[in-house]
Structure 1
């Protein structure tokens, strides 16, 4: 029961909604995009093993429930759900890659190892569970064990339905944590196996220490590459091809991508639409002064700010309302006024202002019987017994509850859309005196409440807010649709769209290397059909017109090029290779000019030369040169070997060619510790080893077809 109390305190209304049917856990099924399908659909493949849409959906549902439970929310928004889907997919792929390699090596995670992790209690995963000591915040294995014992002996027929549901939710949550513990431990074993194979030695340790602690102060002169015009440098196709072959490995892309051109039309309100919203808000502002049922009235206005029957912190209200509250008196209507920040017309009325606590400690006993009459009789009996001095905890336990004290904070309910019963519940807590007992009827149940403490008394406001964002009308949308539809009908090829978009008032956008895993075309919501088209179309084709976004975007897409998985075509990287060759040829030319110099002053006198001084250059860290605005790792290498007061160079850098003269060298006071340095190198090697997953990914022929179904 203590564990359940912790769970209930996690989220925004959990402590309030305990035990009441209308506060049941929301399943969140509305967002699911899978429709009933015939046959089997595969969303991906790893090492030849396919993952069906149904299996993937189940994993997404599981992780979604975990997120909702740990964050104390009843649903996730679209962006959060997209993130969950990507996290589930990435975890699945990584686990499959590691499991395949671990199987070859005989690596496993036993039940005894998992139990040892739980006994130790320091794993970060365990710290994300509700099984934590309320005083120390540390994971409490005894709380977990008690829960598991209670869950194993759960008798649904003898416990309130809400307790059974919480036990089931927590049981599923712990199963997820345990499974993740096994997977993460196996991954850690495999990574450690690789990391421990990369060892250091005394020689490398000494070199690392010297490169980090020996510093040089230098004078430098440089001629930037920008001093030579690119047009004076000739680069042949054969040179580009040779460099491509030399660097081909760096141009590999693991997945197929697309280059697209598209037009995204955002439908915006017309002047007539704005005038219509202003007129409506003006009329509502007049009615605001006399409205009897404020909750119903505010809903009828279409305001995006729900009315709260509870006085709340003013910071919960929109910023434009907060900025005006202090200049408005009780029952005064302010507005209408326009707020540019969210493009809305507004009006509001302060209904009440009171001092109320931000935190309330209370305890409760839920009472529910076969019918309303028996519930009321039982509640009266319990209430009278408590008034007569009966122990609260003892009676609570008699009815299968803990009766333990918990804290309700303002953030648990402020800003949430509360129905009448929720508001009644919270207002009772706010207005009850400390130690006072209340027999509260809510829905089909009664709740015996006792407030034990109140903290952080603050000024709270009950404000009726009409906030109407300016939205386009149906007529405005139809005009935008008809105009764009006509453009699309008249421009059925990519060449025509490119030629006529600007003249028709549309902006042509483009995107290279678009991947199916990005979910949205142009970052616009609701573009899954356009995305599916892109990866099914042929080069040069033009899509149909798509209605997308939140019913406020129109889009057409042209597929310019398909970039298959593997090595990128030389034509796609030719410009980058040409720029590198041009820089190399400029460096050769400048080196030839500068190598005859015998002093820094002589270099400074050369055309386009710049000079600077840089202190504390080390071999291990690149030097930043302000006059060329570039990071130059080569300077540290040369400075570490250069003699004091001797000109060194020319040195080919990232932004130009340099000549340096070291005028001072010094060592830090740090003493050499061979063992410590070797440990640092080993740890560094371990971090490099963590990139093994990328190598496994390349060899596993991973296919991600989620975009077809999600």
Structure 2
């Protein structure tokens, strides 16, 4: 029954689990953020893959499953960025599933009935069968449990549905593994490649260089021409391939931070709260009912609270009050209930008894009996294996070593307030525990506190005033006057650039999705149609840039490449200066003297780590060093920080490779992983993928 229950509750996450498998398998980075024109799309079509439409009603449940997984992982809270990641996970899984299924068919990859039988109940079980039906200690599959569950599905429609899902997932993972093996077996490393890689990581170069930094020429002294921009663009076209349509906008943020009046009102309210706090008969209940931040009513060690509180509260004796004090964006009020010295961590074992099955009185009676047996010399671990319902029972109830605030309060108090060797019986929300304190480690001061924190929030009047400013600006502003009107009114204009359609974040904005959706409905130059609500204010925005998917034009990137074009022009001027110094020189020190510089020595540089100490990563310079002859002055080399001239003093070759097989194996791992990603990227590049998610999320 436990197995069937587990399958029923967990199988709903198989689809999401499939996402993780595919992502790990193909190293999916932002490869799948393809987008296209949104016009003419069906109103309920999220996108399409090679003409096959993906309907919202089919896609959204997968998004919800992905969101549920995030909530489970992060404690039920999902922000805008995590929501966007959940949508991306579902979308990437959708693309991977459809493209790979077509590729399996093209390659003739299948899972035969005999193979599937072996994976489900044979000698070579699927990892999923091992996971659900395997013994945790031996790793062996309980075949009788598999057969029993398979037989039971004939009379249980829900169980049959779970088995159908499990079988489909096993087939999918098997096909993925076959495809992966095909890719892996198609790549290899030659001895020449292995030797080159070994030398690149172990051959050492020593040289001296002189560099002229780009900053030695003021930007104001350089006049850039259209020809300069065109030359740089033509030489670097591959850098300007835009994988996804992006948009840029400028915006004005109308803050709703608390005003001085809000602060004064909050202070008055908190002072009244502090007076009531001092006279309340129930400190913990009063704190729980009045604090915006819940701090457990248990012993807390230093370092857990706001630094302003933490730095002083552990010096206060029991019965002391602290506050109200404004720290950060909230007022703090604290009453010290008790202080003591306590272990830093505890090693313990326990036996958990389910009181819901036998009743609380019977559970306590059993616990007391087990405590007596343990105190009388019976093996606690064996008792745990026999009587505990907790997952730790297979380890004799061993919970390992844990710090404070790890366990529920009742359990923690018993473990930390007792002493080594004690056996205690306590009740918690999980049942009745028999706890054996194996060891207590360290000792430090802890405090039990009644803690109240009241956030300093803006009043409705402050919010209304900010909104009125925002709506007034929206009504008055035109595209051409956005920046000038903002400046006239004393507002700051912020910029968000290269925003992808499904992006869950934007600079300075905590909830940007509605704004981004409208940006993808707008034309370049439009003021977006509404005031957007953020957690800390309101926003009015203006669409300033639309960059289409594919090769960007010079006009699209002109502003972006201006610093690089400036350096390219400066590089020509600096190279001319170095060439003049090289004329008639036969030593690096002579060149340095003519340039008014000193030649700087570099020892033991390796090709695989091309960072010049104190400067920057200079791939072109170090690459040229390793291709040069010893003792020969180089020509000027354009780098990231400036223009260089150097002379190689010598090379130190490494000893021959001891183990060629190991060298090839190490390289093959990296090449294989890159090949998997490249193969999947090739499938995408050959496919017609249309992404309309921005309309829905």
Change in CA separation of 1:113 and 1:53 when aligned onto 2, cut-off 3 Å: farther
Task: Name the structure 1 match of 2:102.
Answer: 100
Structure 1 position 555, deviation (Å): 0.5
* 337 and 214 in structure 1: CA distance in 2 versus 1, 3 angstrom threshold: closer
Partner residue, 2:61 = 58
Contact 2:414 2:424 in 1 (8 A): no
CA distance in 1 between counterparts of 2:626 and 2:3 reads 61
Between the aligned partners of 1:496 and 1:642, the Cα distance in structure 2 is: 57
Q: Which residue of 1 aligns with 2:335?
A: 349
Alignment partners' CA distance in 1, 2:220 and 2:261: 55
Instruction: Give 2:440's aligned residue.
Output: 456
Shift of 1:382: 6.2
Deviation at 1:498, TM superposition (A): 0.9
Distance 1:464 1:548 in 2: 35
Bigger mean CA deviation after superposition, 285-294 or 637-646? 637-646
Structure 1 match to 2:46: 43
SS in 2 for 1:414: coil
Shift of 1:532: 1.5
1:646 alignment partner in structure 2 = 632
Contact 2:287–2:451 under 8 Å retained in 1:
yes
After superposition, what is the alpha-carbon deviation per residue over 1:355-380, rounded to whole angstroms, capped at 9, x for unaligned? 587565332332447xxxx9578668
Higher mean C-alpha displacement, 360-369 vs 385-394? 385-394
Which of the numbers 493, 499, 508 marks the counterpart of 1:508?
493
The residue number in structure 2 matching 1:624 is 612
C-alpha distance in structure 1 between counterparts of 2:118 and 2:133, whole Å: 22
The verdict on how the C-alpha distance between 1:604 and 1:408 changes in structure 2, with shifts beyond 3 A counting, is closer
How far 1:278 sits from its partner (Å)? 1.7
Which residue in 2 is equivalent to 1:294? 283
Looking at structure 2, the residues matched to 660 and 522 of structure 1 have their Cα atoms a distance apart, in angstroms, of: 42
Contact 2:110 2:175 in 1 (8 A): yes
1:169-180 to 2 correspondences below 5 Å: none
- The residue number in structure 2 matching 1:200 is 189
Deviation at 1:572, TM superposition (A): 2.0
Q: Are 2:555 and 1:571 equivalent residues in the alignment?
A: yes
| 1:485 paired to 2:499 | no
Task: Give the drift of 1:283.
Answer: 1.7
Measured after TM superposition, the shift of residue 434 of structure 1 is 4.7
Instruction: Kindly report the root-mean-square deviation, in angstroms, between the aligned alpha carbons of the 2 structures.
Output: 4.9
Kept in 1: contact 2:364–2:432 (CA 8 A) = no
**Partner of residue 414 from structure 1, selected from 382, 405, 409:** 405
The CA deviation at 1:295 is 4.2
Matches within 5 A, 1:441-452: 447-452=431-436
Deviations 1:136-164 (A, max 9, x none): xxxx5347879867876899xxxxxxxxx
> Whole-Å Cα distance in 2 between the matches of residues 406 and 315 of structure 1?
30
Contact persistence 1:216–1:618 (CA under 8 A): yes
CA drift at 1:613: 1.6
CA contact under 8 A between 1:47 and 1:701: conserved in structure 2? yes
Aligned equivalents of 1:147, 1:321: Cα separation in 2? 56
Alpha carbons 1:587, 1:652 under 8 Å: kept? no
- The alpha-carbon distance between structure 1 residues 128 and 477, as it changes in their structure 2 partners (threshold 3 A), is farther
Contact 2:214–2:641 (8 Å) recurs in 1: yes
Are residues 598 and 556 of structure 1, via their aligned partners in 2, closer, same or farther at CA, if it must alter by over 3 Å?
A: same
Does residue 1:536 correspond to 2:539, yes or no?
Answer: no
Change (3 A) 1:183 1:316: farther
Where 1:478 maps in the other structure, the secondary structure is helix
Q: 1:256 and 2:242 equivalent?
A: no
Q: 541-550 vs 111-120, which deviates more?
A: 111-120
Could you say which residue in structure 2 is the equivalent of 1:89? 91
Deviations 1:479-523 (A, max 9, x none): 1221222222222x1222210112312111122221122124445
Change (3 A) 1:287 1:119: farther
Q: Where do 1:528-607 residues align within 5 Å?
A: 528-550=513-535, 552-575=536-559, 576=561, 578-579=565-566, 582=569, 585-586=572-573, 589-590=576-577, 592-594=579-581, 596-599=583-586, 600-607=588-595
Take 2:391 and 2:667, find their aligned partners in 1: how far apart are those partners?
Answer: 54
Q: Distance in 2 between the 1:523 and 1:264 partners?
A: 9
Report the TM-score, using the length of structure 2 for normalisation: 0.75
Give 2:14's aligned residue. Answer: none
List per-residue Cα deviations over 1:89-115 (Å, max 9, x = no partner).
Answer: 334433443333333222356647866
Partner in structure 1 of residue 20 of structure 2: none
CA contact (8 A) 1:644 1:664 kept: yes
Distance 1:656 1:385, change over 3 A: closer
Q: CA deviation at 1:116?
A: 11
Q: How far did residue 385 of structure 1 move? A: 8.1
Structure 2 matches for 1:297-336, cutoff 5 A? 297-301=286-290, 303-306=291-294, 308-336=296-324
Structure 1 residue 670 displacement after superposition:
4.5
Compared CA separation, residues 585 and 311, structure 1 to 2 (3 A): closer
- Unaligned 5+ segments in structure 1 are 8-38, 135-139, 156-166, 417-421
Q: Deviations over 1:588-629 (max 9, x none)?
A: 635653553432233223346553222224455535264xx3
| Matched positions, count | 637
Bigger drift between 405-414 and 212-221 goes to 405-414
Cα 1:352/1:362, change in 2 over 3 Å: same
Q: How far 1:130 sits from its partner (Å)?
A: 12
